[in-house]
Amino acid sequence: MSISQTVVDFATLAIQAGGYMELDRLYLQNRIIALIGEDSLEDVLPHKQLESSLVLLDRLIEKAKDNGVIDDSFAQKEILEAQLMDFLTPPPSVVNAFFAQHYAKAPAEATDYFFKLCQENDYIKTRAIAKNIVFPTETEYGTLEITINLSKPEKDPKDIAAMRNVNDVNYPKCMLCMENEGYKGRQNYPARSNHRIIRMNLNGESWGFQYSPYAYYNEHCIILSEEHRPMKISRATFERLLSIIEVFPHYFIGSNADLPIVGGSILSHDHYQGGRHTFAMAKAPIETEISLSVFKNIKAGIVKWPMSVIRLQGSNKNELINACDYILQAWKQYSDESVSIKAYSEDGTPHHTVTPIARRNGELYEVDLVLRDNNVSEEFPDGIFHPHPEVQHIKKENIGLIEVMGLAVLPPRLLNELEEVKKYVLKKANDMASYHQVWADNMMKHYQFTEANAMEIIHAEVGQIFAQVLEDAGVFKRDATGQAAFLRFTATL
């Protein structure tokens, strides 16, 4: 296909996306050729059967490289890709208007429209996400989902070198700020020309709804405050979470904890994460019912889960909000040093918070409160309720919202490292990292490895380690002592 045909077909996709009309075709085509370094177009007609936007995009990028507009650096390529895909993305006002039209018919129709747009305009990096290694593991807590995260690009050496000459810019303030919408990007900041945000009013405040460009699960969305302010779990959090699942009853919505060690990667901007996915934790049953004497209409219980989870269900939203806030305030003050649980340090530093997750369960509102404690000790300087040293060869990073619910986001180093472990257990020449030695030797005592079954066994064992990671993060352990301590806490409620 000629580059002229590619440009014309790409302009057709832009018109079909709804941001332009046929009258805009010449304008579009001229803008596209300007970006890729062409001076003219042949006289061609649009194809009736169009190739995908990503296929056409790749051709445009290659022509831009041939013309010397960009080099091979990741940053230059990403910026131009986003600028081109911006033509396939209506302006924010139009996207919001289309979203509202679809929402008037059904909430799911609105999110379907927006999700499809964000995939087709390459804001959601579908090809990068497809590189992730994903495998399920059966455990006593149900089927945990294990992912080795390969979607986020490695640092390009050319970009690293170029960053030495980049001025320090404090705009946007962070990756979640509204100012990212339409931002060109720069050498040390991602391109967002094709980024759009749906505006929302949550209890009198302005918020935004967007999708995650490197999604970890289906329709992974982010709901962010217009104001750049730190994360904080409070009564207002529960009010917002339940309001969001009224707006999007087909989505779950949750929040990372608001303290270091147990919090997520971005604590500087108030936000929540949700999507259309059912995690193992949502399927886990209540194993011990508890009584909340103050809240007669709220059903409560301890969930059968490696972390310490109290599930609340009710049909009255305000009563459920009151119950959630009541438990949060009780937990923030609670100590039981017999199981290393301490609400405050000597200097008054608080250590307790929750990771809350809300969803609809038929006619009921349902909230899981995962109890979190970020204290440290001489034995566990990374965190008492954090992955312990014996599992850090697999997972050392914070256990955030997504892991809490049963989806492991493991570092990309494991792709090659597990191949070396496989060679080791098959007694082949290998370059296995020393920190996998104890684990690999233990597996060899329990399994007969063959070329056919080795990686399947290794993956299954990684899943069991992830279950142990979650148990390490649980404040009340799954043994008799821990569960008795859990009941002592719930008795105070």
End residue of a domain, out of 53, 69, 85: 69
- In this structure, the answer to whether residues 63 and 145 fall within a common structural domain is no
Pair of tokens at residue 305: 């889960």
Contact in structure between 457 and 445 (CB atoms under 8 Å): no
Kindly state whether residue 454 falls inside one of the protein's structural domains.
no
Contact in structure between 176 and 222 (CB atoms under 8 Å): yes
Contact in structure between 122 and 54 (CB atoms under 8 Å): yes
- In this structure, the answer to whether residues 49 and 154 fall within a common structural domain is no
| pLDDT of 82 | 98
Kindly state whether residue 180 falls inside one of the protein's structural domains.
no
List the strands of the sheet with 205-211, edge to edge: 198-202, 205-211, 221-225, 271-275, 252-254, 352-361, 364-373, 309-314, 299-303, 286-290
Number of domains in the chain: 2
Confidence grade of residue 90 (pLDDT, cut at 50, 70, 90) = very high
Please say if the pLDDT value at position 474 is more than 70: yes
What's the mean per-residue pLDDT of the chain? 95
- In this structure, the answer to whether residues 161 and 19 fall within a common structural domain is no
Ranking 154-158, 379-383, 386-390 by mean pLDDT, the lowest is 154-158
- In this structure, the answer to whether residues 143 and 27 fall within a common structural domain is no
| pLDDT of 152 | 74
Contact in structure between 253 and 223 (CB atoms under 8 Å): yes
- In this structure, the answer to whether residues 11 and 159 fall within a common structural domain is no
Please say if the pLDDT value at position 443 is more than 60: yes
**Interatomic CA distance for residues 278 and 301, integer angstroms:** 20
| pLDDT of 158 | 53
Q: 122-133 pLDDT, tens per residue?
A: 999 999 999 999
Q: 161-177 pLDDT, tens per residue?
A: 554 555 678 899 999 99
- In this structure, the answer to whether residues 43 and 152 fall within a common structural domain is no
Q: 226-236 pLDDT, tens per residue?
A: 999 999 999 99
| Percentage of the chain exceeding pLDDT 90 | 93
- In this structure, the answer to whether residues 52 and 134 fall within a common structural domain is no
| pLDDT of 128 | 94
- In this structure, the answer to whether residues 328 and 260 fall within a common structural domain is yes
Please say if the pLDDT value at position 370 is more than 80: yes
Pair of tokens at residue 82: 């986003």
Q: What angle do CA 272, 277, 283 make, to 5 degrees?
A: 105
- In this structure, the answer to whether residues 155 and 26 fall within a common structural domain is no
Q: 329-366 pLDDT, tens per residue?
A: 999 999 999 999 999 999 999 999 999 999 999 999 99
Q: Please, what's the largest Cα pairwise distance for the chain?
A: 80
- In this structure, the answer to whether residues 267 and 336 fall within a common structural domain is yes
Report helix, strand or coil for 131.
coil
Contact in structure between 142 and 283 (CB atoms under 8 Å): yes
Length of the chain: 493
End residue of a domain, out of 27, 46, 69: 69
Contact in structure between 463 and 135 (CB atoms under 8 Å): yes
Kindly state whether residue 417 falls inside one of the protein's structural domains.
no
Beta strands in 251-410 (DSSP E): 252-254, 271-275, 286-290, 299-303, 309-314, 352-361, 364-373, 407-410
Kindly state whether residue 80 falls inside one of the protein's structural domains.
no
Kindly state whether residue 342 falls inside one of the protein's structural domains.
yes
- In this structure, the answer to whether residues 219 and 365 fall within a common structural domain is yes
Residue in 30, 6, 185, 20 with CA at minimum distance from that of residue 89: 20
Report helix, strand or coil for 138.
strand
What's the burial of 377, exposed, middle or buried (CB within 10 Å: 0-12/13-18/19+)? exposed
**Interatomic CA distance for residues 479 and 484, integer angstroms:** 9
Average pLDDT for residues 214-231, to the nearest whole number? 96
Report helix, strand or coil for 347.
coil
Q: 110-119 pLDDT, tens per residue?
A: 999 999 999 9
| pLDDT of 400 | 94
Cα radius of gyration rounded to whole Å, the chain:
25
**Interatomic CA distance for residues 271 and 205, integer angstroms:** 13
Please say if the pLDDT value at position 197 is more than 50: yes
Q: If residue 142 lies in a helix (H) or strand (E), which one and from where to where?
A: strand 142-148
Q: Which residues pair with 208 in a beta bridge?
A: 199, 224
Kindly state whether residue 321 falls inside one of the protein's structural domains.
yes
Q: 289-302 pLDDT, tens per residue?
A: 999 999 999 999 99
Average pLDDT for residues 447-467, to the nearest whole number? 98
End residue of a domain, out of 49, 69, 89: 69
Kindly state whether residue 281 falls inside one of the protein's structural domains.
yes
Q: State which residues form the domain around 15.
A: 3-69
| pLDDT of 160 | 47
Kindly state whether residue 383 falls inside one of the protein's structural domains.
yes
Contact in structure between 150 and 133 (CB atoms under 8 Å): yes
Name the H helices within 67-217.
74-85, 92-105, 107-120, 126-129, 157-162
Q: 2-16 pLDDT, tens per residue?
A: 999 999 999 999 999
**Interatomic CA distance for residues 393 and 433, integer angstroms:** 9
| pLDDT of 264 | 74
Q: What is the DSSP code (8-state) at residue 200?
A: E
- In this structure, the answer to whether residues 220 and 368 fall within a common structural domain is yes
